[in-house]
Structure 1
Amino acid sequence: MIPSRVLSITVCSALAIMIAGCSSTADNQASYYQTAETSLQQENQRIFGESTAQQSGAIDLADLIPDENLKTLINNALAGNPSLQQTLLSLKASELGLVSTHADRLPSASASLSTSRSEGSDTEFSLSSSVSWQLDIWSQLADAEQAATKSYQSDVALFRAAQASLVASVMKSWLELVSSYRAIVIEEKRLALLETNEALIIQRFRNGLGTLESLDEAQTSTSKSRSDLAEYKETLASNKRALQLLLGEQQSSIKNYPTEYPDVWLDLSALPQQDLALRPDLQAAYLAIEAADYNASVAYKEMLPSLNLSASLSDSSTSLRDALFVSPVWSLLGQLSAPLFQAGTLKANHEIAKLEVVQSYQSYRETLLNAVNEVQNAIGQEKVLNTQQQHIQKALTSARSNRQQYEQKYRSGLVELSDLISAQQAVFDLEAELDTLQYQQLSNRVDLGLALGLGSSNT
């Protein structure tokens, strides 16, 4: 009676401690979750206001540029990019790790068969089998499984983030090809005109109508343009190699790309949902908080008593059949154990686990702040680039009109050739600047889509 009563008291005391500990852990958990969700809602409200769209349907990042050739390259990149494939293999390994964690909650069984023989005696067969099971009285194993599940879900979200980042990189590299090609076209037009002007200056110089300084200036401008053109062509080749690297290809399959900028659709009011919670990196950070909380609970329950059941079956005989099937000896054991002294190791592990919860929360805050910064920067860039394009377009219109006037005056002998060349150069400079601004705006729209959480449906 006395041992049974002592055992009951011990179990009840442990249960009371467990309830108090679980309550404390749950309070901390709810506090961090609530704080994280409140911070997210506040940032959504601050950025998007009350006009958050709630339309049905999903939009992929690739849908921003409706080009079939580009979508083919994106699919090739998702299937062949080595870095993404490494992440996928790590994710599959993490998924298999869930099987091991789940198995800890189930009974384990083992069996062995051995033979022995000594001089003057028959061979003896010995059979033993055992089944053991740790009763999850404190839900410690369940918490460990939940922690592993949350960690795996976080890995899944990070993989989706890697997919979205790769898609954005392919799209921006695609736009860079167009930008490089257009830079070549503009420079070729400039060079053709400079060569024409140089030939005219040489002819005038031979006729005694020009100066050596004008000839030197013309040759300098022509040589500079040839140098720039060579650089632009190498930039185009380099961009092709960079895109090839993203695709994970040894030989380039890039054959067709547009020579004009495609439309990059982006209408915030038409997006299915404006919510930073769509970002997979934020989802991963939130799941990491959950995983850390479960791990802290596991670390606390390591200090509580554990109950194990084990059953064994054994026999030995000179006959293998008798050893297997005739009158085996069985035993059943229930064992209650509790840690008494481990020099503060378990308590320290629990404190470390609680610090990791706080660390996960701070990591979530950092991810949220970065997300807000990326969205605000992209929105700000969209506005300023649009304004810059309007001003440069007006300047280009004026420069073209000015060039026409200088051409007419030069034919009438009212201005020098150098003045006409300066007017022509101004047009080419503004065309190149406007083209660069257009590329920057389209590339920024891809960044904005990525910052808003648009991803890839190819999972």
Structure 2
Amino acid sequence: MPLARRRLLPVLAALFVTGCAITEPIARPQIELPAAWAESATSSTDASTDAIHADWWQSFGSAQLDALVAEAMSTAPDLRIQAERVAQAELALRQAGASLFPALNLSGGSGTRNVDGNESGSTDLSLGASYELDLWGRIAAGVDASRASLAATLYDYDAARLSMSASVASTWFQALALQERVAIAHQNLAIAERVLRVVQARYDNGAASALELSQQRSTVLNQRKAIEPLEVQLRQTRSALAILLGRNPQASFAADQRLDGLQVPEIGAGLPSELLLRRPDIAASEARLDAAAANIAAARAALLPGISLSAGAGVGSTALLSLADTTRTLSLSASLLQQIFDGGRLRTEVELQRSRQRELLETHRRTLLVALKEVEDALSDSARDARQEAAQREILAEAQRSLRLAELRYREGADGLLTVLDAQRALFAAQDQLAQLRLARLGNAVNLYKALGGGWQGARARVPPA
């Protein structure tokens, strides 16, 4: 036996040294990136995205928004769910890496037997070790796949943080816009009621008809009816914001911020080629391609023979619950296993992993194309809505002037009530439209920050403890 062991060990060592690990090239899609963005009217493409900070929401100049985003980063249920997925991926990597080490087993037992009245006892204690030589890199490839999956999960967590901050900012802006639209609706109701009093006074003096009085009453009623739906939307938007933060849906928020008090930042879009390094979702997609290549390598290595080593040592005794007068055993063995027939299961696994790689490759291609489109759309929307808001402010100024003149001419009897009604409708619509355009500009800025990666530089954000 000692001679056999001496002959066996060099053979195994030679196999271990000459074993060639199977590798698989990592697939990447070939996409021709544009040299510049098609739409750059409001954002300078010459400006580098290095100017975008990780705390991009601070560029809106609102302490309330800063506090809400900070709260979401620590208490949002969606982020806590993603943090648990990171923890699970870390544990999966640790579990896969454990296969690279030998397995040790300790067993012991004691018992008695009675055969034809003759009673005998035995006690034994044994230690066994087993180890699979990873000649073809199957186990190492599995570890690489788990490591790439962990990286993808970490990038997913970064993407979730970016999405959460953008969702909080957008939802809060919507709440502010609805709050302002409710205030505008109440102001317009006050204007309509003021005109109604003028019409009522003229009617009482015989200077206005009953039709004019009825028309203005309808305007008041319609304006009063328009308030309730806006108030309902405001409550629902605030409850949605509370859910994002992990609060009770009935939670209240400060109501002293106005849309006009928020800054609309100028954002440098950089170059399209920089986008590939700026977005965590693209990094996550690339990491999944790495994992796919490692899974193919592991499936290919499983087709080749495997060699495992095992060793054991034990002591035994014929006494019950005692190791006196023991006998000792020592064993060392090596085994070679090659699958001869499995119905094509292993080869099918290789093809399955290749199909999954092709699927991930197309998914990654789509991710890149969607990212480019999101930036173009955000740039285009920002340029359009900036021009629309400037024009709407002029429209609002003219609508206010028209209503003042219409009321004055109606009081003097120079024009009928129809002119006042038209002026009122124009003013109400202009005020509401301006609030919505201001919201759109703020939302476009959030979308552009998100599309550009929100200042992400490839470093993993800190994961809260699970």
Residues 1:42 and 2:40 aligned together = no
The count of residues paired between Structure 1 and Structure 2 equals 439
Residues 1:245 and 2:236 aligned together = no
1:116 aligns to what SS in structure 2? strand
**Equivalent-residue separation in structure 1 for 2:325 and 2:234 (angstroms):** 79
Residues 1:78 and 2:77 aligned together = no
| Matching residue of 2:156 | 158
| Matching residue of 2:304 | 304
**Equivalent-residue separation in structure 1 for 2:71 and 2:247 (angstroms):** 9
**How much has 1:306 moved relative to structure 2?**
1.2
| Matching residue of 1:281 | 281
**Equivalent-residue separation in structure 2 for 1:452 and 1:325 (angstroms):** 76
**How much has 1:304 moved relative to structure 2?**
0.7
**How much has 1:82 moved relative to structure 2?**
2.1
Say if 1:199 and 1:88 are closer, same or farther in 2 by CA, change over 3 A: same
Per mean C-alpha deviation after superposition, the further-off stretch among 200-209 and 169-178 is 200-209
1:328 aligns to what SS in structure 2? strand
| Matching residue of 1:112 | 107
The amino acid across from 1:315 in the alignment is: V
The amino acid across from 1:215 in the alignment is: L
**How much has 1:52 moved relative to structure 2?**
6.0
**How much has 1:57 moved relative to structure 2?**
7.6
| Matching residue of 2:4 | none
The amino acid across from 2:33 in the alignment is: Q
Say if 1:65 and 1:435 are closer, same or farther in 2 by CA, change over 3 A: same
**Equivalent-residue separation in structure 2 for 1:253 and 1:220 (angstroms):** 34
**Equivalent-residue separation in structure 2 for 1:54 and 1:384 (angstroms):** 22
Overall identity of the aligned pairs, in %: 23
| Matching residue of 1:103 | 98
Work out which of the residue numbers 77, 84, 87 in structure 2 matches 1:92: 87
Say if 1:229 and 1:125 are closer, same or farther in 2 by CA, change over 3 A: same
| Matching residue of 1:230 | 228
Say if 1:325 and 1:356 are closer, same or farther in 2 by CA, change over 3 A: farther
Matches within 5 A, 1:33-432: 33=28, 35=29, 39=31, 42-43=33-34, 45=36, 51=46, 53=48, 55=50, 58-119=53-114, 120-121=118-119, 123-250=121-248, 251-252=250-251, 254-261=253-260, 262-268=262-268, 274-318=274-318, 323=323, 328-432=328-432
1:110 aligns to what SS in structure 2? strand
Say if 1:43 and 1:286 are closer, same or farther in 2 by CA, change over 3 A: farther
1:200 aligns to what SS in structure 2? helix
Q: Give a deviation string over 1:318-341, Cα, whole Å, max 9, x none.
A: 458974995520100111222211
**How much has 1:297 moved relative to structure 2?**
0.4
The amino acid across from 1:110 in the alignment is: N
* Contact preservation (8 Å) 1:307, 1:337: yes
**How much has 1:218 moved relative to structure 2?**
0.9
**Equivalent-residue separation in structure 1 for 2:347 and 2:449 (angstroms):** 46
Per mean C-alpha deviation after superposition, the further-off stretch among 324-333 and 211-220 is 324-333
1:315 aligns to what SS in structure 2? strand
| TM-score, with structure 1 as normaliser | 0.87
**How much has 1:414 moved relative to structure 2?**
1.7
* Contact preservation (8 Å) 1:276, 1:453: no
**How much has 1:447 moved relative to structure 2?**
0.9
The amino acid across from 1:258 in the alignment is: Q
Say if 1:43 and 1:124 are closer, same or farther in 2 by CA, change over 3 A: farther
1:275 aligns to what SS in structure 2? helix
**Equivalent-residue separation in structure 1 for 2:64 and 2:397 (angstroms):** 34
2:105 aligns to what SS in structure 1? strand
1:104 aligns to what SS in structure 2? helix
1:401 aligns to what SS in structure 2? helix
The amino acid across from 2:424 in the alignment is: Q
1:414 aligns to what SS in structure 2? coil
**How much has 1:253 moved relative to structure 2?**
5.0
**How much has 1:291 moved relative to structure 2?**
0.2
**Equivalent-residue separation in structure 2 for 1:434 and 1:87 (angstroms):** 38
Say if 1:168 and 1:445 are closer, same or farther in 2 by CA, change over 3 A: same
User: RMSD value over aligned CA atoms?
Assistant: 3.0
**Equivalent-residue separation in structure 2 for 1:237 and 1:299 (angstroms):** 55
The amino acid across from 1:86 in the alignment is: I
**How much has 1:413 moved relative to structure 2?**
3.0
Per mean C-alpha deviation after superposition, the further-off stretch among 282-291 and 225-234 is 225-234
* Contact preservation (8 Å) 1:81, 1:246: yes
* Contact preservation (8 Å) 2:173, 2:439: yes
| Matching residue of 2:3 | none
Per mean C-alpha deviation after superposition, the further-off stretch among 80-89 and 163-172 is 80-89
Say if 1:145 and 1:264 are closer, same or farther in 2 by CA, change over 3 A: same
* Contact preservation (8 Å) 2:399, 2:427: yes
* Contact preservation (8 Å) 1:134, 1:306: yes
The amino acid across from 1:371 in the alignment is: A
5+ residue gaps, structure 2, are 1-6
Per mean C-alpha deviation after superposition, the further-off stretch among 356-365 and 311-320 is 311-320
**Equivalent-residue separation in structure 1 for 2:462 and 2:385 (angstroms):** 32
Say if 1:410 and 1:324 are closer, same or farther in 2 by CA, change over 3 A: farther
Say if 1:57 and 1:329 are closer, same or farther in 2 by CA, change over 3 A: farther
**Equivalent-residue separation in structure 2 for 1:170 and 1:324 (angstroms):** 73
Per mean C-alpha deviation after superposition, the further-off stretch among 152-161 and 401-410 is 401-410
